[in-house]
Structure 1
Amino acid sequence: MSNLGPYTYVTLSMGPDEAPHLGVSFYTPRLRVSSGLLFSNPRPFLEFTSQEAHVRISTTGAGAVTDADLATAREIFNAAARYLADCERLHTDQSATDQSASDKTASGTAA
């Protein structure tokens, strides 16, 4: 797979007698993530924003926060924790590989 560089990819698929499907993929250093509380009808939200797309996730409706809302929030939290752990592990591995390559070049052992 080639490296395309940073981008945001948004698709909308609509078929006859099917619910629309929206896909958003962020591959950009310009991604901003925030959260807050909607004031007009208090409920929490999580927001992902780039120059090309804006995604807001909130509870299921204008009423009280439900058990299902809490379960979804926990899933998001757990997925974000796994994402962080994977990023940290890969960053550490890549830094070690880069340092090893740099050490070999400095010592003249690189091919």
Structure 2
Amino acid sequence: MSSLGPYTYVTLSMQSDEAPHVGVSFYTPRLRVSSGLLLSNPRPFLEFTSHEAHVHISTTGAGPVTDADLAIAREIFNAAARYLADCERLHADQSATDKAATDTAA
């Protein structure tokens, strides 16, 4: 199996008469994730940052928290929980495979 080294991939697509599309893919251990509350205009935020890109997520129109904002926050939470569960399961599988290979080689 071939794999690339760590990287961040950012694209911007612009077509006439269409809204721009920005794509950001993080494949790096240097990814930082943070969240907090902006105090100047109280609203929550979530950030994903690497050396190459910065993604900032906040409430609709950077305004008061709406029912739609709560729904999106729940979707992010549930997706992150699934991502964690998949990472933990794959890590455990890989560790077991590595241990079996080491035991067989010994």
TM interval, shorter chain, is over 0.9
Counterpart-to-counterpart distance in 2, 1:62 and 1:28? 29
RMSD: 1.0
Alignment-derived partner of residue 52 in structure 1? 52
Kindly, what percent of the aligned residue pairs are identical?
A: 86
Alignment-derived partner of residue 103 in structure 1? 103
Alignment-derived partner of residue 24 in structure 1? 24
Change in CA separation of 1:8 and 1:71 when aligned onto 2, cut-off 3 Å: same
What is the SS of the residue equivalent to 2:10? strand
Structure 1 position 83 matched with structure 2 position 62:
no
Unpaired segments ≥5 residues, structure 1: 107-111
Structure 1 position 94 matched with structure 2 position 94:
yes
Q: Which whole-Å deviations, capped at 9, do the CAs of 1:61-104 have from their partners, x for residues lacking one?
A: 24321000000000000000000000000000000000000000
Alignment-derived partner of residue 8 in structure 2? 8
Counterpart-to-counterpart distance in 1, 2:85 and 2:22? 27
Unpaired segments ≥5 residues, structure 2: none
Aligned residues: 106
Of the two, which has the highest radius of gyration? 1
Q: Which amino acid letter does the alignment assign opposite residue 81 of structure 1?
A: A
Counterpart-to-counterpart distance in 2, 1:2 and 1:14? 32
Q: Which whole-Å deviations, capped at 9, do the CAs of 1:3-59 have from their partners, x for residues lacking one?
A: 111000000000000100000000000000000011221100000001111100000
Counterpart-to-counterpart distance in 1, 2:100 and 2:83? 26
What is the SS of the residue equivalent to 1:61? helix
Counterpart-to-counterpart distance in 1, 2:24 and 2:62? 25
Structure 1 runs of 4+ aligned residues shifted over 4 Å read none
